[in-house]
């Protein structure tokens, strides 16, 4: 079959991928692949908003300081400044695309979230991500130079190893992807590839992230030879709805930002004063999540209560229309009732190591968004800094690709996907069983509070399961479930190996065996 070469391949149609696509499309032809639906990433689920210094009383320095305090000093200051200084321009671009941010007169309305010393979160009610995703998708769909292909699950990056003539130089030339409708594996060859495939939250039993957040991009880049950093820094959101029917529904931090308080449902005590008496419910997320976890474990609770019923009903309905409506459907009126909440995995702070140009270690591969570790978040992401990172690094990747375009050589002949030695699986149950097993031991052994013994138990389980999954992968035709399982086990391993390397407690990594924080903050960098 003749070899078609795209200018740029983008893996992922969330905020990072579409930002890069739109910035490249002025002069390049861009192909965007997405697993499942084009809106299936975390972007569409984002509630709270986007952090940016827009108020005259606020400063970049304040935002930088808040980001580094939340990140427990592990952030790279250069990256933090780079992102925060570009936030107002990123918001202006979104306004120009038609994102209907809430406004107060001529100014955008700013809400507040944990860890922020000022009101600086722009938002579209309590469903910011949906509006951002819609605006980016509309612009991409209308652009003649952007082709969007949903229903494509990338399996592996194409490198020199996949050339008809073998080369071990690690240069990336696109990706092999499963067409989820036909079951065929396609070659998508490109001069430049941008990884924007989101996080790995579904490695945990309870997560606010969508089903496809299985760390595919992180695992693909790792297998291709890129370094991965700070994977032990998995963020747990303090307030995910506790409900036996509806799993994974986030109750935005903005509820606490607008006055919501946490109570122990048995003692009736407002307990945050025991954990962070100054900032209370607006302490950074790692502190509030650990407090909730501690109350639940100490009192044998199923959940704690988040209560905003002291605010006027019209205020609550006006600020949180989506959450209010969703809860009413479950018999909870948040204008009168407390909301049962539990902590749940929420964000992957670590990922593929990138520089300020969104370059990875591998020539031809750029990366942006939640699949990366850029130095912005450090040991704990400050609320609403994530979408911002997607916009800034999506742009940075595009800019760097365009700046170096003439130096990007054409690909060599690449081999077709070889299915000659595999058959259709007759044991799909293995995938389900293994998937459930991983998510459960990751929750129990590699969760909010860790110990070396539990991490070692998890490492042992991973080694056993990896052998089984590798055997399965070698024998059977790929499906999306199998692709995800293979990546999930890779992501679990990267998290556990990173956690075992960190002999201190810092930010999101809290271990009973090393409760102190070292004087010097160091990244955990894994080298393939
Ligand atoms: P995503 O938006 O997750 O997109 C990933 C894309 O990659 C998808 O298109 C997916 O289909 C594709 N993909 C994945 N694997 C493959 C594969 N193998 N092959 C092909 N395609 C693939 N952050 C904020 O800043 N503010 C908020 O208010 C906020 N609220 C949040 C609320 C929730 C419930 C959640 C889960 C997260 C929230 N976050 C928030 C975090 C933020 O939404 C994400 O970090 C951000 O949207 C990630 O964007 P992304 O472009 O990196 O990836
Ligand atoms: C939220 O709305 O609480 C999520 C904000 C974020 O993840 O940044």
Asked if residue 277 and residue 181 are part of one domain, the reply reads no
Residue of 76, 187, 285, 486 marked catalytic: 285
Q: Answer whether residue 521 is part of any domain.
A: no
Residues 203, 297, single domain; the answer is no
Provide the CATH number for the domain around residue 104: 3.50.50.60
Considering the domain architecture, whether residues 285 and 260 belong to the same structural domain is answered as yes
Copy the structure tokens of residue 95: 């306004």
374 and 323 in a single domain? The answer is: no
Residue 241, C-beta contacts closer than 8 angstroms, at least 6 positions apart: 249, 250, 251, 327, 339, 340, 341
Per-residue pLDDT tens digits for 466-496: 999 999 999 899 999 999 999 999 999 999 9
116 Cα to the center of ligand 2, angstroms:
12
Closest to 292 measured CA to CA, from 258, 262, 251:
262
Residue where a domain stops, chosen among 290, 314, 344: 344
Residue 266 φ then ψ, to 5°? -90, -50
Q: Is residue 527 part of a domain?
A: no
Instruction: Evaluate whether residue 413 is within a structural domain.
Output: no
H or E element in which residue 170 lies: none
pLDDT (0 to 100) of residue 166: 83
Domain that holds residue 441: 428-515
Tokens at 385, concatenated: 């800094």
The distance from CA 127 to its chain's CA centroid, rounded to whole angstroms, is 17
Residue 156 inside a domain? The answer is yes
- Boundary residue ending a domain (378, 407, 436): 407
Contact at 8 Å (CB) between 23 and 398?
A: yes
Nearest CA-CA partner of 64 in 388, 336, 368: 388
Q: 210 and 330, same structural domain?
A: no
Q: How far is the CA of 130 from the centre of ligand 1 (A)?
A: 11
How many distinct structural domains can be found in the chain? 3
How far does the centroid of ligand 1 lie from the alpha carbon of residue 8, in Å? Answer: 20
Indicate if 454 belongs to the active site: no
Residue 268 lies in a domain: yes
Residue 132 pLDDT = 98
Pairing of strands 234-241, 339-348: antiparallel
Count CA within 13 A, CB hemisphere, residue 22: 25
For residue 419, tell me if it sits in a domain. no
* Contact criterion met (CB below 8 Å) for 58 and 118: yes
Number of the ligand 1 atom closest to the C-alpha atom of 210: 36
Q: What is residue 298's DSSP assignment?
A: H
CA 250 to chain CA centroid, Å, is 14
Query: What's the CA gap between 74 and 524, in Å, rounded?
Result: 10
- Choose which residue among 133, 156, 158, 387 to substitute to test ligand 1 binding: the one with the highest number of ligand atoms within 8 A of its C-beta: 387
Coarse DSSP helix, strand, coil percentages of the chain, rounded to the nearest 5 percent: 40, 20, 45
Question: How many Cβ atoms from other residues are within 10 Å of residue 25's Cβ?
Answer: 21
pLDDT at 221 over 80: yes
Which DSSP category does 378 fall into?
A: T
Asked if 436 and 330 sit in the same domain, the reply is no
Pocket of ligand 1 (CB under 6 A): 11-17, 33-36, 40-43, 45-50, 128-129, 152-154, 196-198, 208-209, 212, 216, 250, 347, 369-370, 384-387, 390
Q: Alpha-carbon distance 306 to 124, whole Å? A: 22
Q: List pLDDT tens digits, range 74-130.
A: 999 999 999 999 999 999 999 999 999 999 999 999 999 999 999 999 999 999 999
Query: Which of 344, 370, 388 is where one domain is finished?
Result: 344
Q: Note the pLDDT tens digit of each residue in 232-250.
A: 999 999 999 999 888 889 9
Which of 196, 384, 386 for a ligand 1 pocket mutation test, highest count of atoms within 8 Å of Cβ?
A: 386
One domain for residues 197 and 243: no
Q: Answer yes or no: do 322 and 433 share one domain.
A: no
Task: Give pLDDT, residue 245.
Answer: 86
In a domain, 273, yes or no: yes
Query: Of the candidates 263, 262, 258, which has an alpha carbon nearest to the alpha carbon of residue 315?
Result: 258
| Angstrom distance (rounded) from CA 67 to CA 52 | 12
Assign residue 433 the CATH number of its domain: 1.20.58.100
Residues 121 and 192 in one domain: yes
Mind spelling out the 3-state secondary structure of 1-64? CCCCEEEEEEECCCHHHHHHHHHHCCCCCEEEECCCCCCCCCHHHCCCCEECCCCCCCCHHHHH
Same domain, 145 and 197: yes
Name the residue with tokens 């990896």: 466
Distance 131 CA to ligand 2 centre (A): 15
Q: Over the stretch 318-372, which tens digit does the pLDDT of each residue have?
A: 999 999 999 999 999 999 999 999 999 999 999 999 999 999 999 999 999 999 9
CATH number at residue 337: 3.90.700.10
Which neighbouring-strand residues pair with 111?
Answer: 121
Burial class (CB in 10 A: 0-12, 13-18, 19+), 436: exposed
Closest CA to 72 of 527, 519, 528: 519
Rounded distance between C-alpha atoms, residue 104 and residue 119, angstroms: 13
Distance 229 CA to ligand 2 centre (A): 22
Atom of ligand 2 nearest to the CA of 386: 8
**Which two tokens mark 185?**
């594996």
In 3D, which of 226, 233, 211, 149 has the Cα closest to residue 186? 149
Provide the pLDDT for residue 1: 66
Tens digit of pLDDT for each residue in 381-439?
Answer: 999 999 999 999 999 999 999 999 999 999 999 999 988 888 888 778 889 999 999 99
Q: 226 with 352: CB under 8 angstroms? A: yes
Residue 238 near ligand 2, beta carbon < 6 Å: no
Domain check: are 221 and 264 in the same one? Answer: no
Q: Is 448 within the bounds of a domain?
A: yes
H-helix or E-strand spanning residue 123: none
Residue 248 has what pLDDT?
A: 87
Ligand 2: does its nearest atom lie under 6 Å from the Cβ of 208? no
Q: Residues 264, 144: one domain?
A: no
């Amino acid at each position: 079959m003749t070899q078609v070469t795209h200018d740029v391949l983008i893996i992922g149609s969330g905020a990072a991928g579409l930002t890069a696509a739109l910035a490249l499309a002025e002069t390049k032809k861009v192909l965007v692949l997405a697993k499942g639906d084009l809106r299936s990433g975390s972007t569409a689920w984002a509630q709270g908003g986007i952090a940016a210094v827009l108020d005259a009383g606020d400063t970049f320095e304040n935002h930088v300081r808040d980001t580094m305090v939340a990140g427990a000093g592990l952030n790279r200051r250069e990256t933090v400044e780079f992102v925060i200084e570009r936030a107002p321009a990123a918001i202006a671009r979104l306004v120009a695309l038609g994102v209907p941010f809430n406004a107060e007169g001529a100014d955008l309305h700013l809400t507040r979230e944990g860890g922020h010393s000022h009101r600086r979160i722009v938002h579209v009610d309590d469903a910011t991500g949906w509006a951002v995703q819609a605006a980016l998708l509309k612009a991409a769909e209308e652009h003649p130079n952007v082709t969007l292909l949903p229903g494509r699950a990338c399996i592996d990056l194409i490198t020199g190893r996949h050339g008809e003539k073998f080369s071990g130089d690690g240069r990336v030339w696109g990706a092999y992807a499963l067409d989820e409708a036909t079951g065929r594996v396609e070659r998508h060859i490109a001069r430049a590839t941008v990884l924007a495939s989101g996080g790995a939250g579904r490695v945990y039993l309870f997560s606010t992230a969508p089903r496809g957040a299985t760390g595919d991009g992180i695992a693909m880049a790792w297998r291709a030879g890129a370094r991965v950093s700070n994977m032990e820094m998995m963020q747990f959101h303090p307030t995910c709805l506790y409900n036996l029917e509806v799993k994974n529904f986030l109750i935005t931090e903005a509820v606490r930002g607008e006055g919501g308080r946490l109570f122990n449902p048995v003692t009736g005590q407002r307990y945050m004063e025991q954990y962070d008496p100054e900032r209370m419910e607006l302490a950074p997320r790692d502190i509030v999540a650990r407090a909730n976890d501690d109350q639940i474990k100490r009192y044998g609770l199923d959940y704690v209560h988040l209560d905003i019923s002291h605010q006027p009903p019209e205020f609550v309905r006006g600020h949180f229309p989506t959450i209010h409506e969703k809860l009413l459907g479950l018999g909870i009126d948040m204008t009168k009732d407390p909301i049962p909440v539990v902590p749940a995995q929420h964000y992957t702070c670590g990922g593929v190591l990138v520089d300020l140009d969104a370059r990875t270690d591998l020539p031809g591969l750029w990366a942006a968004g939640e699949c990366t570790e850029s130095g912005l978040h450090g040991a704990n992401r400050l609320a609403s800094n994530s979408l911002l990172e997607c916009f800034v690094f999506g742009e940075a990747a595009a800019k760097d690709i365009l700046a170096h375009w003439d130096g990007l050589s054409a690909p060599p002949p690449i081999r077709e996907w070889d299915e000659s030695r595999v058959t259709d699986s007759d044991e799909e149950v293995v995938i389900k069983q293994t998937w459930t097993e991983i998510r459960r031991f990751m929750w129990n052994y590699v969760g909010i509070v860790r110990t070396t013994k539990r991490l070692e138990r998890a490492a042992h389980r991973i080694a056993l399961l990896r052998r089984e999954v590798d055997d399965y992968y070698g024998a059977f035709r790929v499906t999306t479930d199998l692709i995800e399982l293979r990546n999930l086990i890779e992501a679990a391993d990267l998290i556990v190996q990173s956690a075992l390397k960190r002999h201190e407690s810092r930010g999101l990594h809290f271990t009973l065996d090393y409760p102190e924080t070292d004087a010097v903050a160091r990244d955990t960098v894994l080298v393939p």
